[in-house]
Structure formats: structure tokens, C-alpha cells
Amino acid sequence: EILGSADTPYEKGIFNLEILVPARYPFEPPKIRFLTPIYHPNIDSAGRICLDVLKLPPQGAWRPSLNISTLLTSIQLLMAEPNPDDPLMADISSEYKYNKQLFLVNAREWTKKYASQ
């Protein structure tokens, strides 16, 4: 589980994650995806996360010195600060860029609907 940070549209949300640790960990990054639906430009409807530390170089920034705790912190930071220039969800990304108020309303609504206990 990961908690939505204060002062974000995901505040008070509890998001379930699936973490699959490969046999070659820490030389390969764990596979992490959201099981709880989340309205976010970098997380798709299947829960996949677009984050460089979840991928091996040269496309990614995974290093064996990273650990699962670091990855969860990185995911929490991504939730607080989306990267609309590297989206998995183009429509949500353009909404984030050009109509942030609507994005915030939608993200809060999804959090309330799917991530409230």
C-alpha cells in the first residue's frame, strides 16, 4: 500500500500496489503496478507506471543500490509531481497541462471513489 501525500489530489487515498521481485533482484528492478485505479498521466489503466527507476539502463535509471523503499518513495513523488512530458495517458496529460483545475477535480474524484477506505 502507498498513501496519497497531503496537499495532492490523492490525499487520504490508500493505493494498493503489486510488487513482483524478479529472481535477479537487485540486478533487475522489481515490477510494480497499481492495483487501485488512479487518475494520473504517468500511470495507465492497467496500473503500469512510467518511471525511469523502474527500468534497466539505457532507457531506465535502475541501479542495484536502489531498494523497494526507495522505489515507493519515488512513486509517491511521481504522484505528487506528475511528468506530463512522458505520459502513459495522453488525454490525462493534456488535461494536466492545459486544464489543471479539471485534472485536480477528476483525480480527487477517482481517489474518493477507488482509494478511500
**86: CB partners within 8 A, 6+ apart:** 42, 50
- In the chain, the domains with their CATH numbers are 2-115 (3.10.110.10)
Residue 71, exposed/middle/buried by CB under 10 A (0-12, 13-18, 19+)?
Answer: buried
Handedness of CA 99, 103, 109, 112 (dihedral sign): negative
> H or E segment at 14?
strand 14-15
d(CA 65, CA 56): 13
pLDDT at 117: 81
> What is the block-wise mean pLDDT of the chain (117 residues), using blocks of 10 residues?
97 98 97 98 98 96 96 97 96 98 98 95
Classify residue 87 by its DSSP letter.
-
Instruction: Single out the catalytic residue among 2, 50, 53, 92.
Output: 50
Parallel, antiparallel, or unpaired: how do β-strands 31-34 and 2-3 relate? unpaired
Annotation marks residue 50 as catalytic: yes
pLDDT of residue 85: 94
